Chain A
């Protein structure tokens, strides 16, 4: 089996997701020996580019140069993987009104959300891709891991916790530190914005405030569903 040709690219973003890969110190050599790295501008100046098997793209599309790069990568790559909430949902750049997720412009084969992405999921995804499989999807919201950690529920206690609306996989990091989930991993598979809004309205929150909070990271999805409910 020949090594998969891989490229890693950043559009408008903080480069935090690419950094997660660079921070995989113990595994980085294994990763590099298992792939044929064709492009990773953040890490090296030697980038032969060319045809790719898998392209990882971070960041939202906010400007012409993003779109140009994205289209070029898409035509050269068999699979395109969106990494990070900005690439997957528009994330923070979406709030400026100019940033859109890459799926608005090109076909995305797999999404790995997170702000930043989780190291464990990145390595699992890479391992699956190297083996020739699409990575597993995590179908559950933050509440699963939160409950398994036996945290008492912040939403029940009347805080704006985005856990039930947010894709799990972070180990419920914030609620485990008694901080409500901000939703940085973007929408879960089955977010019920109406139900969440109803609960928070009962707790006395202003519906507009709730929508603003819920929309912080959920980009296009929030505009479709979240803001509609009021």
Chain B
């Protein structure tokens, strides 16, 4: 893979130039928080952030969108698709893996054109990170990336090591070749190795994933779920902030004239009581425990069985944002504990 070097002081000019020809999305400082947002001149880009509250998915599957508008006798029309190239800078490895998980859902088999249009017009520039006590990507195999990006920047202090992941990424580098150097010398190589090993030593949170999908299957009926769910507010904050929670509800709203209206979709959560409610009033997951179980089953079992990888990329957002302080790694660890007890006893 082609690798180049971008001196630190050239990053701002590099992004500034990209912003002239593209809609540039960056991790932006707002007060104490960092959010992904469109770049504006003079905005503060967060180069060393831990995690955003909302993940990149909001730019591909917006929280709310109109799918089409209809009018009697005139058929239906989709909203004008957004146009122009976007460059999304600053995704950490977990978030790039998460996009790949979403691609599986929205681009394979049944293609979601709304998602595809946004995905196709967006180049991805990854950015290296250091974990905090909530990150467990190293347990999920998502702490590094080898594809799914156009460029990937590793912060080595004085310079960024830039991996080129696609021809579009290469074009970006070539267009701004005056800002980068093609020479990756011994010193830089050493810095890179040091960075990689220092980073992997920093992880605190871990999740033992061995046999997890099977353990979940075996523990389906466990009273454990209701117990954990006693603390759950069913607020949905974990789902909204998860980079791979993609559930949405679809609804029609007629206008006052009764002959026109629109169909929309918006984010929802399997933690909400009506989520598995069907016509006739039957609810497949009437209890909060069944709903909490569903969230973990889908991540670590169903998705895993379909794709060979868990849908969880270990970003730590769900536990960092849960008002009830529910730590999903801890939940899964206690579940494993229960099994060994019953096996011994």
Q: Show the binding face of A for B, using Cβ within 8 Å.
A: 1, 27, 30-31, 34, 123-124, 126-128, 130-131, 133, 136-137, 139-141, 143-144, 147-148, 150, 152-153, 155-156, 161, 163-165, 189-190, 192, 194-196, 198-199
How far apart are B44's CB and chain A's nearest CB, in angstroms? Answer: 16
Which residues of the other chain, B, contact A164 by a CB distance below 8 angstroms?
A: 233-235, 323
CB contact under 8 A between A126 and B32, given known A144-B267, A147-B240, A164-B323: no
How far apart are A201's CB and chain B's nearest CB, in angstroms? Answer: 12
Q: Which of B96-104, B127-135, B182-190, B253-261 contacts A (4 or more CB under 8 A)?
A: B253-261
How far apart are A230's CB and chain B's nearest CB, in angstroms? Answer: 16
CB contact under 8 A between A190 and B256, given known A144-B236, A150-B53: no
Verify B325–A199 contact, CB threshold 8 A.
yes
Q: Specify which of B33, B230, B261 is in contact with A150 (CB 8 Å cutoff).
A: B33
Can you sample 16 A-B contacts with CB below 8 Å?
A31-B256, A34-B257, A126-B256, A127-B256, A140-B272, A143-B233, A143-B235, A143-B237, A147-B54, A147-B236, A147-B241, A147-B321, A152-B53, A189-B274, A192-B234, A194-B230
Whether B301 is near chain A, meaning CB under 8 Å from some CB there, is: no
Q: Specify which of B54, B255, B275, B325 is in contact with A148 (CB 8 Å cutoff).
A: B54
How far apart are A29's CB and chain B's nearest CB, in angstroms? Answer: 10
How far apart are A178's CB and chain B's nearest CB, in angstroms? Answer: 10
Closest to B36 in A: A150
How far apart are A162's CB and chain B's nearest CB, in angstroms? Answer: 11
Verify B232–A130 contact, CB threshold 8 A.
no
Verify B323–A156 contact, CB threshold 8 A.
yes
A152 to B34, CA, bound (A): 11
Which residues of the other chain, B, contact A133 by a CB distance below 8 angstroms?
A: 254
How far apart are B66's CB and chain A's nearest CB, in angstroms? Answer: 14
Which residues of the other chain, B, contact A30 by a CB distance below 8 angstroms?
A: 256-257
A126 to B254, CA, bound (A): 10
Given contacts A140-B236, A153-B321, 13 further A-B contacts (CB under 8 A): A31-B256, A123-B256, A124-B253, A127-B255, A140-B268, A144-B240, A147-B235, A156-B322, A190-B234, A192-B288, A195-B231, A198-B231, A199-B324
Closest to A141 in B: B235
A139 to B251, CA, bound (A): 13
Closest to B63 in A: A148
Verify A189–B272 contact, CB threshold 8 A.
yes
Verify A144–B269 contact, CB threshold 8 A.
yes
Q: Which of B234, B241, B254, B275 has the most chain A CB atoms inside 10 A of its CB?
A: B234
How far apart are B273's CB and chain A's nearest CB, in angstroms? Answer: 4
Q: Interface on chain B toward A: helix, strand, loop, or mixed SS?
A: loop
Verify B323–A199 contact, CB threshold 8 A.
yes
A139 to B272, CA, bound (A): 7
Which residues of the other chain, B, contact A153 by a CB distance below 8 angstroms?
A: 237, 321, 323
Verify A141–B256 contact, CB threshold 8 A.
no
A29 to B249, CA, bound (A): 32
**Binary interface profile of B, 35-65, with partner A (CB < 8 Å = 1, else 0)?**
1000000000000000011100000000110
Which residues of the other chain, A, contact B251 by a CB distance below 8 angstroms?
A: 136
Verify A136–B253 contact, CB threshold 8 A.
yes
How far apart are A41's CB and chain B's nearest CB, in angstroms? Answer: 23
Q: Which of A124, A140, A153, A195 has the most chain B CB atoms inside 10 A of its CB?
A: A140
Which residues of the other chain, B, contact A131 by a CB distance below 8 angstroms?
A: 254, 258
Closest to A31 in B: B256
Which residues of the other chain, A, contact B234 by a CB distance below 8 angstroms?
A: 141, 164, 190, 192
Closest to B236 in A: A144
Which residues of the other chain, A, contact B232 by a CB distance below 8 angstroms?
A: 192, 195
Which residues of the other chain, A, contact B236 by a CB distance below 8 angstroms?
A: 140-141, 143-144, 147
Q: Which of A123, A124, A164, A189 has the most chain B CB atoms inside 10 A of its CB?
A: A164
Considering only residues 152-209 of chain B, those with a C-beta below 8 Å from chain A are none
Closest to B274 in A: A139
Which residues of the other chain, B, contact A130 by a CB distance below 8 angstroms?
A: 256, 258
Closest to A163 in B: B235
Verify A34–B240 contact, CB threshold 8 A.
no
A152 to B54, CA, bound (A): 11
Closest to B52 in A: A150
A27 to B230, CA, bound (A): 45
Closest to A137 in B: B274
Which residues of the other chain, B, contact A31 by a CB distance below 8 angstroms?
A: 256
A58 to B344, CA, bound (A): 62
How far apart are B14's CB and chain A's nearest CB, in angstroms? Answer: 27
Closest to B62 in A: A148
Closest to A35 in B: B256
Verify B258–A34 contact, CB threshold 8 A.
yes
Which residues of the other chain, A, contact B253 by a CB distance below 8 angstroms?
A: 124, 127-128, 136
Closest to A178 in B: B31
A30 to B324, CA, bound (A): 45
How far apart are A44's CB and chain B's nearest CB, in angstroms? Answer: 20
Verify B255–A195 contact, CB threshold 8 A.
no
